[in-house]
Copies of this chain bind each other. A is one copy, B any other.
């Protein structure tokens, strides 16, 4: 039974019944008791919007989705959302998703923050100077960023150690004797890709190997096609790269296809390392050869960042939570053999 039906049953206005249910003082005690009695008998369920007006809490978190660069299209975003959903279910909270054109994005964040619809906001895929982060930090509205920026002011974030992960992957290849190591990275206007590039350069420098920008591909999306095209092109260089580090499992699919297309055998002629976000439908140990990976569950990150946001909402203004999760390097067959090119 809803508010309308309950009001009709009682012969009272919806405004009066709503006020009675929410304990507003302008309703007499006798009316309040009559309304509450009927609500219990008739199995009335409170309208959460009305309730949120009274309690100031919606038990909703918000996510703004730019529709041009649709995050749902990224296979990893689904896993991230799965982790968020798991945590929300445990906290008995829901999520509001606002699809918004990029041109209206900042205004949408401001509107969402003052809308009273959500208690906190999650932001993902930050750029180095992310205007959304600056905008929300100014508004004092609870939010947590998945990733980091170079913004100077404090805010809460949860990130993985992208730089450390790609430094470790590069070190492994250098230790195996590789000198021509290619990096197929993500979009470097994003912090995660910039950090990965930095880790790669750092390891080269430690080993005294000259950094060659021609070995790095840092444009393009995380598609099988981009993995194929960029690795195909990089394999035409002479001396040929003997190893590749690629930013995702989907890129690795395309990389494998490109390596075979050149008549080469992955793991034998060419070493390959991919970053693995733990997509349940595409597992690194099931590749042929099994893939060496920098490994970090983006689902776990979704779960954890939602816990952080929940704490942020409960302890508003109590400081910021800044977490960087370590990334594991898992060595498998795709880097097992190294054959120095003739």
Contact = CB atoms under 8 A, between A and B. Distances in A.
Given A49-B53, A288-B261, A86 B98 contact: no
A281 B75 contact: yes
Interface string A218-245: 0001111100100000000000000000
A79 B72 contact: yes
A101 B114 contact: no
A333 interface: no
B78 A117 contact: no
B288 A73 contact: no
A243 B150 CA distance: 54
Contacts of A2: 114, 116
B89 A100 contact: yes
A189 interface: no
B95 A280 contact: no
Contacts of A50: 49, 53, 116
Nearest to A86: B67
A221 B45 CA distance: 37
Interface of A: 1-3, 15, 18, 24, 45, 47-50, 52-53, 58, 60, 65, 67, 70, 72-75, 77-79, 81-82, 85-86, 88-89, 94-101, 111, 114-117, 221-225, 228, 250, 253-254, 257, 260-261, 279-283, 286, 288
24 contacts: A1-B114, A15-B24, A45-B115, A47-B115, A48-B115, A49-B116, A67-B89, A70-B85, A70-B86, A72-B81, A73-B78, A73-B82, A73-B281, A74-B78, A75-B75, A75-B78, A94-B96, A94-B98, A95-B96, A221-B281, A223-B281, A250-B281, A257-B288, A261-B288
